[in-house]
C-alpha cells in the first residue's frame, strides 16, 4: 500500500515537471496515472488525491478543455466536502478555496457569470475565515473575483479587489513575484476595458517585465503578458510596436497549444485590428474570420468572446461599404452581448451603436 502511494506522489511530481516543459499530453496522462494509483491504494478520497484533481483541472483549463477541467475541479470539491478525514482542517480549506477558484474561473470563461460570482465569493469568504484578510489565499481569490467584475463591467469593484490584493502581495513578496505580476496584468486589462490606455500601459509593462525575469520569454504566462501589453499599445495607436508582439505571441502559443486554442483566437482578433488600422482591411478580415471560427468551436456562436470578434468584423465590413453583411454581424453580436452581459454593458452599447449607424 505504501509503495503505491509513493508511486502516486512521484507520478504527480513528474506531471508537474512535464507541465513546466509544455508537455501537456504527457502531463495529463501522468496526472491520471497518479489518480489511478490513489484509487488502487484506496486513498482516492484523500487530500493528496484532491490535490491531483486540482492540478489536473488547472492543466485542462490552460489547454482550453473547459468541460473536463470543470469535471476535475468538481471531483476535488466533492472529495474535500464529504470524504476527507478532517473536513474542517486548514489544509482542506486551502485546497477547497483553490478548487472553488478554478470552478469560478471556468464558469466565467463559459459566460456563466452569476454562477462564477457565487462560488468565487464563497471562496473569498472561506479564505478570509481560515487565513485572514491579508492572507495570500485571500489575495489570489480577490484577484480572480476582480477578473469576473472586469468582464461584467463592474470596474470599480474590480479595481478595489486588485488593489487590495496588490498591497498584500507586495508586502509579503516584494515586487519580483509571479502573483504580483498577475495583479499588474489584470490592472492593465482593467484600464484597457475602461479605455484608459495611458493609465494601463505601466501596469502591463510591469507584468511583462516581471514574468520575463521569472519565467522566461516563451512561458505561456509571459506570452499572455506580452499580448495584454500590446493591446494597451493599440489603444495608444502604437501599432508599429504592438504588431511584432502579436506575431511573436501567435508563434509562441501555436507552438504550445496548436492552432485552435483560445489564446490563438484572441491574438488573431487583435492582430486583425492592427492590420486594419494600418490599412490592410482584407488581411484583417481574413484574420478575424479565423478568430471567429476558433471561438465558435470553443464557445459557440453567441458567447461574448465570439460576439466581440463578430462586432470587429462588422466594423471592417462597414468601412468597406458592405453594410448588409455588417448589419447581420452587428445583430448577432448585440444578441450575444445582451443575453450574457445585459443592456448596459459597454460591449452591448457599442454593438447597439454600430447597428444603429
**Helix intervals (H) in 174-261:** 178-193, 197-215, 220-235, 239-257
| pLDDT > 90? residue 214 | yes
Residue range 5-27: mean pLDDT, rounded: 90
**pLDDT tens, 301-349?**
999 999 999 999 999 999 999 999 999 999 999 999 999 999 999 999 9
Give percent above pLDDT 90 in the chain.
Answer: 89
Residue range 118-129: mean pLDDT, rounded: 96
What is the rounded CA–CA span in Å between residue 333 and residue 121? Answer: 29
What is the rounded CA–CA span in Å between residue 158 and residue 113? Answer: 14
Give percent above pLDDT 70 in the chain.
Answer: 98
**pLDDT tens, 217-246?**
999 999 999 999 999 999 999 999 999 999
What is the rounded CA–CA span in Å between residue 209 and residue 347? Answer: 30
Residue range 259-276: mean pLDDT, rounded: 96
Q: Kindly list the distances between the CA atom of residue 94 and the CA atoms of 57, 147, 177, 345, in Å, as whole numbers in the listed order.
A: 16, 21, 20, 34
Query: What is the predicted pLDDT for the residue at 83?
Result: 66
Residue range 152-174: mean pLDDT, rounded: 95
Going by pLDDT thresholds of 50, 70 and 90, the confidence category of residue 85 is low
| pLDDT > 80? residue 84 | no
Query: What is the predicted pLDDT for the residue at 357?
Result: 83
Query: What is the predicted pLDDT for the residue at 250?
Result: 97
| pLDDT > 70? residue 1 | no
**pLDDT tens, 238-256?**
999 999 999 999 999 999 9
Query: What is the predicted pLDDT for the residue at 86?
Result: 67
Neighbours of 74 (CB within 10 A): 16
pTM: 0.92
| pLDDT > 90? residue 46 | no
Q: Is the domain defined by 259-357 classed in CATH 3.90.1150.10? A: no
What are the structural domain ranges in the chain? 259-357
Q: What torsion do the CA atoms of 244, 246, 252, 256 make, to the nearest 10 degrees? A: -170
Amino acid at each position: 500500500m505504501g509503495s503505491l502511494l509513493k508511486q502516486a506522489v512521484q507520478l504527480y511530481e513528474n506531471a508537474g515537471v512535464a507541465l513546466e516543459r509544455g508537455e501537456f499530453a504527457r502531463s495529463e496522462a501522468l496526472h491520471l496515472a497518479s489518480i489511478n494509483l490513489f484509487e488502487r491504494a484506496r486513498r482516492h478520497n484523500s487530500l493528496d488525491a484532491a490535490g491531483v484533481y486540482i492540478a489536473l483541472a488547472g492543466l485542462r483549463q490552460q489547454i482550453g478543455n473547459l468541460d473536463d477541467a470543470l469535471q476535475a475541479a468538481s471531483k476535488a470539491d466533492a472529495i474535500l466536502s464529504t470524504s476527507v478525514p478532517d473536513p474542517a482542517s486548514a489544509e482542506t480549506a486551502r485546497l477547497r478555496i483553490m478548487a472553488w477558484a478554478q470552478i469560478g474561473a471556468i464558469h466565467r470563461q463559459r459566460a456563466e457569470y452569476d454562477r462564477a460570482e457565487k462560488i468565487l465569493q464563497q471562496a473569498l469568504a472561506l479564505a478570509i475565515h481560515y487565513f485572514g484578510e491579508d492572507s495570500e489565499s485571500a489575495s489570489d481569490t480577490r484577484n480572480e473575483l476582480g477578473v469576473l467584475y472586469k468582464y461584467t463591467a463592474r470596474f470599480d469593484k474590480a479595481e478595489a479587489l486588485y488593489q487590495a490584493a496588490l498591497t498584500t502581495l507586495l508586502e509579503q513578496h516584494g515586487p519580483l513575484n509571479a502573483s504580483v505580476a498577475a495583479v499588474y496584468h489584470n490592472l492593465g486589462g482593467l484600464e484597457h476595458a475602461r479605455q484608459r490606455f495611458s493609465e494601463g500601459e505601466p501596469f502591463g509593462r510591469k507584468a511583462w517585465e516581471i514574468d520575463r525575469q521569472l519565467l522566461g520569454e516563451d512561458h505561456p504566462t509571459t506570452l499572455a503578458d506580452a499580448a495584454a501589453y500590446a493591446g494597451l499599445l493599440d489603444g495608444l495607436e502604437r501599432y508599429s510596436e504592438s504588431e511584432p508582439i502579436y506575431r511573436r505571441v501567435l508563434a509562441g502559443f501555436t507552438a504550445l497549444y496548436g492552432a485552435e486554442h483560445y489564446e490563438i483566437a484572441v491574438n488573431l482578433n487583435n492582430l486583425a485590428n492592427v492590420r486594419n488600422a494600418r490599412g490592410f482591411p482584407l488581411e484583417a478580415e481574413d484574420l478575424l474570420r479565423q478568430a471567429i471560427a476558433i471561438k465558435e468551436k470553443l464557445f459557440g456562436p453567441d458567447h461574448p468572446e465570439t460576439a466581440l470578434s463578430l462586432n470587429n468584423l462588422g466594423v471592417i465590413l462597414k468601412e468597406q461599404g458592405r453594410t448588409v453583411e455588417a448589419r447581420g454581424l452587428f445583430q448577432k453580436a448585440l444578441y450575444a452581448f445582451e443575453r450574457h452581459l445585459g443592456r448596459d454593458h459597454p460591449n452591448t452599447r457599442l454593438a447597439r451603436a454600430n447597428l444603429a449607424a
